[in-house]
Amino acid sequence: MSAGGLKVGAVVLTMGNRPDELRALLESVAKQTGDPIEVVLVGNGSPLPEVSVPGLTVRTVELPENVGIPAGRNVGIEAFGPAGRDVDVLLFLDDDGLLPHQDTAQLCREAFEADPKLGIISFRIADPDTGVTQRRHVPRLRASDPLRSSRVTTFLGGANAARTRVFAEAGLLPDDFFYAHEETDLAWRALDAGWMIDYRADMVLHHPTTAPSRHAVYHRMVARNRVWLARRNLPAVLVPVYLGVWLLLTLARRPSGPALRAWFGGFKEGWTTPCGPRRPMKWRTVWRLTRLGRPPVI
């Protein structure tokens, strides 16, 4: 442990197409109080722009192809040693985000030091112009008050801090997911290993308001990975319940014809392709998820 507390690193994944936003993010990391934060910048299938920022150590990794979000972040984790063991805590930050407050990293150190069972912290994402936090960025069912911090059952992939011991005990993000639900897969495994997850409204990442459906593969990936998530992690009796609920919710939202066809294609793919190792969570974890307000049937 360093003189300033827990040693903190950061992983930033980029396609190299937001150089101005990336520089602003790295400058906001350089301004964090406490010990300096070393950054690993992963170029996901694209050459990296010039990334020199005064006062900040940035290591770069250029991947020859786009391996997806979870696999790219895993590369960043492993750049800090197996399961990130060279640091105590890793920040995961979207390349078009920005830390508006200079004490976010220090607040993370203090939170993890105060609670030895705290494994992951999910930051509040706010639009830099309006200050609005979208409901989908509050990782709980009761999302009407984004300014309320609480224990939660999942986290936001590009705006969080994780204790690296979580990766050592629960494993890394699921590479094959490529995009969507990889955070919940890790969250369920972390909770099953005894860790807790907090949503902290006072730890903010500025990020422009977006819609997840902007990604061309959104509907297929969401459906496929939802099935994989259930097959990998849920007790067998809960798998059809969980997926049945999500099928009904999807139909209730009345997606367009092309979106619905893509969703059903992904749903079928989730059943007919390998999902990775199956490690069903303990029933006491099911109960913990239920007590935290999100039973694993929704």
* CATH classification at residue 156: 3.90.550.10
Q: Are residues 199 and 223 in the same domain?
A: no
Question: Half-sphere exposure (CA, 13 Å, Cβ side) for 99?
Answer: 29
Nearest-angstrom CA–CA distance, 159 and 25: 12
User: Residue 268 domain-assigned?
Assistant: yes
Alpha helices in 176-282 (DSSP H): 182-192, 218-233, 239-252, 257-272
Same-domain pairing of 201 and 121: yes
* Integer Cα distance of 244 and 37 in angstroms: 44
What is the predicted pLDDT for the residue at 3? 45
**196 and 225 co-located in one domain:** no
Domain end call among 206, 229, 247: 206
One domain for residues 40 and 90 = yes
Smallest CA-to-CA distance from 174 within 227, 210, 128 is with 227
pLDDT tier, 210 (very low <50, low <70, confident <90, very high otherwise): confident
Residue 227 has pLDDT above 60, yes or no: yes
Provide, rounded to the nearest whole percent, the portion of the chain with pLDDT above 90.
93
CB 158 within 8 A of CB 76: no
Looking at the structure, tell me whether residues 50 and 180 fall in a common domain.
Answer: yes
AA letter at 63:
L
In a domain, 64, yes or no: yes
**Pair 202, 246 in one domain:** no
In sequence order, the 6+-apart residues with CB closer than 8 A to the CB of 144 are 135
Instruction: Please write the tens of the pLDDT for every residue from 23-75.
Output: 999 999 999 999 999 999 999 999 998 888 999 999 999 999 999 999 999 99
Within this chain, do residues 241 and 153 fall inside the same structural domain, yes or no?
A: no
Which tokens in the block code for residue 47? 């050459």
Do residue 141 and residue 95 come from a single domain?
A: yes
Q: What pLDDT is recorded for position 47?
A: 92
Q: Which residues pair with 124 in a beta bridge?
A: 204
190-201 pLDDT, tens digit each: 999 999 999 999
158 found inside a domain: yes
Q: Is residue 56 part of a domain?
A: yes
My answer on whether 66 and 146 are in the same domain is: yes
Number of structural domains (the chain) is 2
Boundary (domain end) residue, out of 206, 236, 261 = 206
* CA–CA distance, 93 with 82 (Å, rounded to integer): 20
Looking at the fold, whether 108 and 244 belong to one and the same domain comes out as no
Residue 168 confidence (pLDDT) above 60: yes
Q: How many CB atoms lie within 10 A of CB 19?
A: 14
Regarding whether 226 and 109 lie in a shared domain, the answer is no
DSSP-derived pairing of the beta strands 89-94 and 118-126 = unpaired
User: Quick check: is 149 in a domain?
Assistant: yes
* Residue-range definition of the domain harbouring residue 234: 216-292
DSSP string, 124-187: EEE-TTT----GGGS-SS--S-TT--EEES---TTEEEEEHHHHHHH----GGG-SSSHHHHHH
Phi and psi dihedrals of 66, rounded to 5?
-75, 110
Query: Of all residues in the chain, what percent carry a pLDDT higher than 70?
Result: 97
Q: Which of 178, 206, 234 is the last residue of a domain?
A: 206
Indicate the range of 97-111, 122-136, 156-170, 211-225 predicted with least confidence: 211-225
177 and 240 fall within a common domain: no
Instruction: Count CB neighbours of 27 within 10 A.
Output: 15
